[in-house]
Chain A
Amino acid sequence: MASISKLNRHQARTAYLFISPTILLFVIFTVVPVVMAFYFSFTNYDVVKNRDWVNFDNYKRLLHDDLYWTTFKNVAYYTVIFVPLNILISLGIAMLLNFRRLGVRLFRTMNYMPTLTSAVAAATVWVWLLHPEYGLVNTLLGYAGITGPAWLAQTETAMLSIILVTLWQSIGSNMIIYIAGLQGVPDYLYESAKLDGANALQRFRYITWPQLRPTTFLVSTMSIIGALQLFDQAFVLTQGGPGNVTKTPVYLIYQQGFNQLQMGYASAQAFILALAILIFSIVNMRVNKSEESVV
């Protein structure tokens, strides 16, 4: 008995040794900054001079900051449309490209391409594509006799345009994750289902979708986090305009912290954003949980 516990202790020690570099980096670059930011959110920290404790002043101010809640509404709207579409389209493309046929790899590569482009560069190209008079999108619509809107300049279409561009850019990587997930679904499940007379739709509903649950959880969680932190595409495409409809919390956090030197208040804003991400993620987890696997 004694020798077994000794062996266990030895193994445990080795294990700690192996994970310690990662944990150390995680603590230094994630835990410490988060704790410090939490502390700063209760101060009037301005990076250069002040760091006095102000109790809940920053959070109180936050409650009455209409613009901040407007930006929350903006990203909530964005998330609600973006995340389901993201899952739907990337899963769809993954299923289309989940065959071993000649040329499939080429299509996978092509679908992955947008992900490799820098967000800012891609957004710059899209600004041009979406131009009301000379852009490709409205030119094509023009052939069909439709006068396209000024996509990025009108309040009705600005956020939709951003959703379109970010979808275009993010489905590639999610498609890869889904292809990996699809290939992990064992063939015998489909075989026995076929023997039992299940059609393609039933096979998807009762085998593919439940089997992909962990994958969907990963993809949806990551897209929710990404969606709530929307910044660079929105900034390049519309600069938060028109009429504040595409301003996002991260934009405000940056502005308050680095332009207005109110890092304490910016930290409070960041913490509320983190809380929102946590809440969205827990809801997402619950939704995924309810879809119990049959196998």
Chain B
Amino acid sequence: MKKWISLMAIASISAAALAGCSGGSSGNGNASANPSSSSSAAPSDSEPAGKSSGKPVELTFWGDWSGEGQKQFETMVDAFNKSQDRIKVKYVLQQDMITKFLTAATSGGSPDILFWDRWRTSLYAPKNVLHPLDEFLAKDGVSKDDFYGEALKELTYKDQLYGLPLTVDARALFYNKKLLADAGVANPPTNWQELEDAAIKTTKWNGSKLQVAGFSLGDAGLFNMYLQQAGGTMLTDDGKTNFNNDKGKAVLDYWDRLLNQDKVYKIGFEQGLGESTDAFATGKLAMTYNGPWMLTTYKKYGKDLDFGVVPPPAGPNGDKGSVMGGFGLVIPEGSKHQQEAWEFIKWWTANKDNALLWAKTSLNIPGFKPAIEDAFFQDDPFWKPFLETLEIAKIRPTHPGYSVMEGDALIPNVQLFQQSKQSAEDTLKKAQQQGDKLLQDNAVVK
């Protein structure tokens, strides 16, 4: 008897534990009994709602930026609301936006505009929860050529466009001018060889303690970028890994040289250094790859940090490469006011003045190219190198299993390689085998 009671207790505890991790799924399950009903009803609703003048149409805009980002969004929303009186947009902060959207997409209560991490498009577009924008673009004569093509590619699934790019970013090389000058490096590096030389010269060891690292090798996730510089690509056209070859080997050999022979870095050197103790900002790191989002932080240091930015150095055969990322705006299929939502998106992302206002407010590079022509970007020594980088930058492959392949197969194996736990050949082979399997397992999105 007693035994049974305790067995029952264990069973219920583990069951409760289980509910903890899968509760979200089943909770949503109740709501998704009729997944397509809300989406199919939406388009017919939107037309009459737009015409009923007098009272403005209220739109909900979801995003997961809080604090400064929320203020920047609200600045844009306010400006839009003031610019006309038919549509009124409201920004709603959703900390756990994607999870919330999953429920909302099927159970009604869907927002009208969604702030969108673009790489998710290949996962969500096949599920019919996003509304294609091609008709809107054609009707209003918005030209795709005005946007960064790579960013549009990331928002496209099966030749249909699901959003417009709001921001674009790519990593470029930040260098500490003082550290380079002190080490006798006259010009910032333009290729791998110069980068290695400059890193060796700027590195300072004190016994077993690394005082100044010449170049950051902390992020194994930048493999993609280096592979492009070596002239390779991450995936083949038919969706398989494409780095187990001499291009991938070139990247690993280069890293191995920097890390284990030249000793310009130490694994874990930057881990846990927050913004206030950032290794580059405090002069403990001479060169590092970073994105335009760090400009504001580094500029705050003023005279204490004399730094510059150059496009990523080219690889051994002169190939250039960087990875483009960024955000977009999309319209959920469940929105009841898709026409009005489109007008808001168009106003924000496809208008030179507004895109520029957004750029100046948030200090992001907008996805709308005419806005980039402004002196705000063209005459600024910090923005210029990023604009040059964006010209050569490529998005991550849009395979739905790509992020899993990178995070669970490639990076772990590269980390083992960096710590001399396995050879370059084994690393590439294992990453290929595991990566191809993950790509395959996560490929089916219906």
Q: Which residues of A are at the interface with B, using a C-beta cutoff of 8 A?
A: 29-34, 36-37, 40, 44-51, 61, 65-67, 124, 127-128, 130-135, 142, 147, 150-155, 221, 225, 229, 240-244, 247, 250, 253-255, 257-263, 266-267, 270-271, 273-274, 277-278, 281-282, 285
Contact = CB atoms under 8 A, between A and B. Distances in A.
A242 B10 contact: no
Contacts of B411: 241
B19 interface: yes
B343 interface: no
B274 A266 contact: no
A128 B274 CA distance: 8
B14 A130 contact: no
Contact of A131 (B16, B27, B273, B415): B273
B25 A40 contact: yes
Given A260-B442, A266-B22, A36 B271 contact: no
Contacts of B400: 260
Given A48-B129, A242-B412, A255-B404, A225 B13 contact: yes
Contacts, number: 194
Given A34-B18, A49-B127, A61-B441, A267 B25 contact: yes
B267 A263 contact: no
Contacts of A151: 268
Contacts of A30: 12, 15-16, 19
A278 B11 contact: yes
Interface in B78-121: 98-99, 102-103, 105-106
B22 A221 contact: no
B282 to A, nearest CB: 10
30 contacts: A30-B16, A32-B26, A34-B15, A40-B22, A45-B25, A45-B29, A47-B25, A48-B106, A48-B128, A128-B272, A128-B273, A131-B273, A133-B266, A151-B268, A152-B268, A221-B13, A225-B13, A229-B21, A240-B412, A242-B267, A242-B416, A243-B412, A243-B416, A247-B408, A255-B404, A258-B98, A261-B123, A270-B18, A274-B14, A282-B10
Contacts of A244: 408, 412
- Which of B12, B26, B106 is most buried by chain A, counting CB atoms within 10 A of its CB? B26
B183 interface: no
- List of 4 A-B pairs having minimum Cβ-Cβ separation, nearest first: A153-B268, A150-B268, A127-B272, A36-B26
Interface string B264-290: 001111011110010000000000000
A40 B421 contact: no
B128 A257 contact: no
B17 A225 contact: yes
A257 B98 CA distance: 12
Contacts of A132: 266, 268-269, 271
A225 B14 contact: yes
A250 B35 contact: no
B413 interface: yes
B28 interface: yes
Given A131-B272, A152-B272, A29 B14 contact: no
Contacts of A250: 21
Contact of B99 (A130, A258, A260, A273): A258
A243 to B, nearest CB: 4
B445 interface: yes
Q: Interface SS of chain B: helix, strand, loop or mixed? A: helix
Interface in B389-446: 400-401, 403-404, 407-409, 411-413, 415-416, 419, 421, 434, 437-438, 441-442, 445-446
A68 B22 CA distance: 16
Contacts of A49: 35-36, 127-129, 446
Given A130-B272, A132-B266, A281-B14, A258 B102 contact: yes
Contacts of B99: 258
A33 B268 contact: no
A191 to B, nearest CB: 29
Given A132-B269, A154-B268, A260 B123 contact: yes
Contacts of A285: 6-7, 10
Contacts of B35: 48-49
B209 interface: yes
Given A133-B209, A243-B413, 11 more contacts: A37-B22, A49-B127, A131-B273, A132-B269, A147-B208, A221-B13, A241-B411, A244-B412, A266-B22, A266-B25, A273-B21
B204 to A, nearest CB: 12
Contact of A242 (B12, B408, B419, B441): B419
A273 B18 contact: yes
B210 interface: yes
Nearest to B6: A285
B22 A33 contact: yes
Given A260-B400, A267-B25, A47 B412 contact: no
Contact of B26 (A40, A147, A243): A40
A270 B272 contact: no
Contacts of B29: 36, 40, 45, 47, 51
B156 to A, nearest CB: 19
A243 B421 contact: yes
Contacts of B266: 132-133, 150
B69 interface: no
